[in-house]
Amino acid sequence: MHRRYGVLVLLTAVVLAVTAYAGWMIFQPTPQLPFTVRWVDAQRARIEPIPGLTPPALHAGDVLDLAAQSPATRIALVASERTNLPSAASYPLLIQRGAAQLSVRLVTVDGNRGALSNWAAWLWLYSLLLYAGIGLLALSRGHDRAAMGMAFWAIAQVPLSTASSGIRTSHDTGLVLLGLLGYVGFALLARIGFYVMVESIAGNALGPRRRLLWRGLFALVLGAATITGLGGPIAVVAVGWAGLLQVLHGLLPPASYLVPIALLFASYRHADAQQRLRLRWLLWGSIVFVMSLVFNDVPLPLSSFVRALLVGGLFTLAAFALLYAVLRYRVVDVSFVLNRALVYAATTSLVLGLFALFESLIERSALGHGASLALEFAVPLALGAALSTVHRRIDAVVERFFFRRQYRAEAALHRFARECAYITQPGNLFELAVDQIARHAGAPRVALYERTSDAYVCIRQHGEPALPAQVAVDDLAFVGLRARNAELDLDDIQSQLGRGGYAFPLMLRGSLLGALIVGQRPGEHYAADERELLFHVAHEVGASLFALRARESQAFVRALAQGTLKPEDARAQAIRLETTWVMA
C-alpha cells in the first residue's frame, strides 16, 4: 500500500474513533457547578444561579473574590466553561454578600437532561458528523492547498468541540493546563487551516505584497487570541487575576476568523459572476460559523439551554452551507462531486427498493399461496412497467430542477456542434466556437490553434492568462494529440501551453488540423461527460474547418484556371491554404 493511503486510512480511523467517543460523551451526565459565574472585573466574579440546581445557600449577586479562593476552586471556576468536572466533587467557596463573608462548600451536580436538552445533544452530534465528513472528504479526495486547509479546519472541530468534555477535571493544576493546551492547540490548527483554505481560494487575486500583509494581520490577531485563550485561564488558576476573561477579550478568538473572512470577501468582490456563485455559500457559511463561536465564547445573558441551542444550531447550519459549497459548487478542488450519475444512481436504488417493497406487499396480501403461475409472473411485470414510468418521471424532474444550468449548457453545446457545419466563414467559425465554449462550459480560458507549415498558430483566444501566439509542431501536447486522438490533460505533460486545463484535437482523416484548449475552472475538474462533450464539439469544429478550407482551395483552383488572380495574391493564398493539406 502506498504510504499516503496508509496515512489516510490511519487518520480516518482516528477521526471516526474520536467522533464516536464525542458522540457518546454528548449523552453522558455532565457534572458541573450548581451555578455560573459572570466576571465583574479582574479580581471578582458574580454568581448567577441555575434554576433547579443552585442550592438555597447561594443567592443571586453573591460575589467571589478570586484571589481568596483555593486553587482547586479556581481550577473548577475556569474549567467549568470548557470541560466536565469530576462527579460529586466538593469545592469550598468564600462568598461576599454585602458586608458579610460566608464560607460555603458545594458539590458538583449533573446537568439537566430534559427532552429539549437531548434534542440539542442530537443536533450537536449531527453537526460533528457533518464536520468529520467534510474533513475526510477534503482530505481523501482533495487536490489543492484549499482542500487541505478545509480538511484540517473541519477535522479539528471534532476534538475541539467535545474531546475536552471527556476529560474529568481533577484538582491537579498540571492536568488542567494540559487539557487547556490541547484545546488551544486544536483551536490554532482549525484557524490556520481555515486561513490556508481562504488564501488558496483567493489565488492570483493576491500579489506577494498583499499576501504578506494579510498573513501578518492574521498572525497578529491569532497571537492575541492565543494569549487570551491560554493566558486568561492560567492567570486565574495561578493568582486569581481574570483580566483576560472579560467580554472584550472574549471576542478575540472569534475575531481571528474575521481576517480570513475579510480576505474571502475581498476575493468575492473581484471575482466574476460564476466564481461569486461558488464563493457565496462559503462566505455565508463562514459568517454563520463565527456567530456560533460568539455565542459559545462570549458570556451573554442567556440560559444554558438557549445558548447550547443557538451554538449547536448555527454550528450545524454552517456545516450544511460549507458541505453544499464543496459538493455542489466545488469551492475547493475535490475529485468527488455531486453529479448527475450519483443522483441517478440514488433514484434508481429508490425505485428498485419500491419495487421490492410493493412486490412483497402484493405477494403477502393479494396473491397468497394459491395463485397461479401466470398471475405470479404478470404482477411483477405490471409493477415493473408502472415503476419504469415513475423512474423516467423522476429522472426528468431531477434533470429539470437539480441540474437545470448544466442541462441547458450541454444542450447549447450540442446544438452548436450540429449547426457549426453551416457556418460559411472560417473567422466566424473560430469566433463562435470560442464564445460558445467559454459561455456554456464556464471555462475561464479558451483558445483555438490551427496548423501551419511549421507551427500551430493561435487564431482565437478568450480569457487570461494569454497563451503563446505560436507553438512548435512537435510540442509534446500536439504530439500527444496526434498520437492518440483523445483529450489531453495539460497537467500531465511539459508543454508551451502551460498547465491547468485540457487540449482537444481538431482531427479529421488522421490529420491534426489544430487543437481546442480549455482552461481549468477555478477549484474544480471537468467531469467525464463534460470532457466527452467538449471532445465532440472539437471534432465537429475540425470537420467544419476542413470543409471551409477545402471550399477555399476549390475557389482558389477555379480562380487560377480562369486567370483572375494576380501572381502575388495567388502566391500568398497558396501559402495560406497549405495549412489544410500539409498533413493530408
Residues 357 and 495 in one domain: no
Collapsed DSSP state (helix, strand, coil) of residue 329: coil
Residues 229 and 131 in one domain: yes
Residues 160 and 209 in one domain: yes
Residues 313 and 437 in one domain: no
pLDDT score, position 253: 81
Q: How many CB atoms lie within 10 A of CB 31?
A: 19
What angle (nearest 5°) sits at the alpha carbon of residue 185, between those of residues 259 and 198? 30
Per-residue 3-state assignment (H helix, E strand, C coil) for 391-453: HHHHHHHHHHHHCHHHHHHHHHHHHHHHHHHHCCCHHHHHHHHHHHHHHHHCCCCEEEEEECC
Residues 417 and 504 in one domain: yes
Identify whether 466 is part of a domain: yes
| CATH number of the CATH domain containing 138 | 1.20.1070
Identify whether 353 is part of a domain: yes
Identify whether 462 is part of a domain: yes
Contact 15, 132 (CB under 8 A): yes
Identify whether 333 is part of a domain: no
Contact 31, 104 (CB under 8 A): no
Identify whether 154 is part of a domain: yes
pLDDT score, position 582: 44
Expressed in angstroms, the distance from the first to the final Cα of the chain is 48
Residues 232 and 284 in one domain: yes
Last residue of a domain, one of 348, 375, 402: 402
Contact 42, 64 (CB under 8 A): no
Segment holding 45, helix H or strand E: strand 44-49
pTM, rounded to two decimals: 0.61
Give the residue carrying C-alpha cell 489543492.
Answer: 144
Identify whether 365 is part of a domain: yes
Residues 212 and 312 in one domain: yes
Residues 321 and 293 in one domain: yes
Last residue of a domain, one of 78, 110, 142: 110
Identify whether 387 is part of a domain: yes
Segment holding 515, helix H or strand E: strand 511-519
Segment holding 457, helix H or strand E: strand 455-462
User: How many residues make up the chain in this entry?
Assistant: 584
Contact 327, 339 (CB under 8 A): no
> 202-235 as b/e, with b when 16 or more CB fall inside 10 Å?
beebbeeeeeeebeeebeebbeebbebbbbbbbb
The Cα 321–Cα 301 span in angstroms is 28
Handedness of CA 194, 198, 200, 201 (dihedral sign): positive
Helices 304-327 and 273-297: angle between axes, nearest 10 degrees:
160
The Cα 309–Cα 318 span in angstroms is 14
Identify whether 335 is part of a domain: no
pLDDT of the chain along its 584 residues, tens only?
456 666 777 877 888 888 787 777 777 777 778 888 888 888 888 888 877 788 888 888 889 888 888 888 888 887 776 666 777 788 888 888 888 888 888 888 876 544 446 667 777 778 888 888 888 878 777 777 888 888 888 888 887 765 455 455 555 556 666 666 777 788 888 899 999 988 888 876 677 888 899 999 999 999 988 888 788 888 888 888 888 877 666 778 888 899 999 998 888 887 776 677 778 888 888 899 988 888 877 766 676 667 777 888 888 888 888 877 776 656 665 554 445 555 555 566 666 666 666 656 655 555 555 555 565 566 566 666 666 666 666 666 666 655 667 778 888 899 999 999 899 888 899 999 999 999 888 888 899 999 887 889 999 998 887 889 999 989 999 999 998 888 998 888 889 898 878 999 998 877 888 999 998 876 566 777 788 999 999 999 999 988 888 887 777 667 666 666 666 555 555 555 554 444 44
Q: How many CB atoms lie within 10 A of CB 62?
A: 21
> What residues make up the domain containing 353?
340-402
Alpha carbons within 13 A on the beta-carbon side of 557? 6
Contact 520, 500 (CB under 8 A): yes
pLDDT score, position 540: 93
Residues 167 and 244 in one domain: yes
What angle (nearest 5°) sits at the alpha carbon of residue 75, between those of residues 69 and 79? 135
Contact 228, 252 (CB under 8 A): yes
- Is the preceding peptide bond at 465 cis, omega within 30 degrees of 0? yes
Residue 439 CA to chain centroid, in angstroms? 24
Residues 458 and 496 in one domain: yes
The Cα 345–Cα 234 span in angstroms is 55
**Could you tell me the three cell numbers for 480?**
500527444
Segment holding 217, helix H or strand E: helix 208-226
Last residue of a domain, one of 327, 354, 379: 327
Residues 316 and 377 in one domain: no
Judging by beta carbons within 10 Å of its beta carbon (0-12, 13-18, 19+), is residue 480 exposed, middle or buried? buried
The Cα 522–Cα 516 span in angstroms is 19
Residues 174 and 102 in one domain: no
Helices 528-562 and 426-441: angle between axes, nearest 10 degrees:
170
pLDDT score, position 354: 62
CA 505 → CA 99, 477, 489, 518, 541, distances in Å? 90, 10, 12, 11, 10
Judging by beta carbons within 10 Å of its beta carbon (0-12, 13-18, 19+), is residue 453 exposed, middle or buried? exposed
Q: How many CB atoms lie within 10 A of CB 134?
A: 23
DSSP single-letter state for residue 503 = E
pLDDT score, position 409: 83
Give the residue carrying C-alpha cell 397468497.
Answer: 368
Contact 312, 120 (CB under 8 A): yes
The Cα 562–Cα 188 span in angstroms is 82
Total domains in the fold of the chain: 4
The Cα 256–Cα 290 span in angstroms is 10
**Could you tell me the three cell numbers for 283?**
462566505
What angle (nearest 5°) sits at the alpha carbon of residue 219, between those of residues 217 and 221? 70
| CATH number of the CATH domain containing 72 | 2.30.42
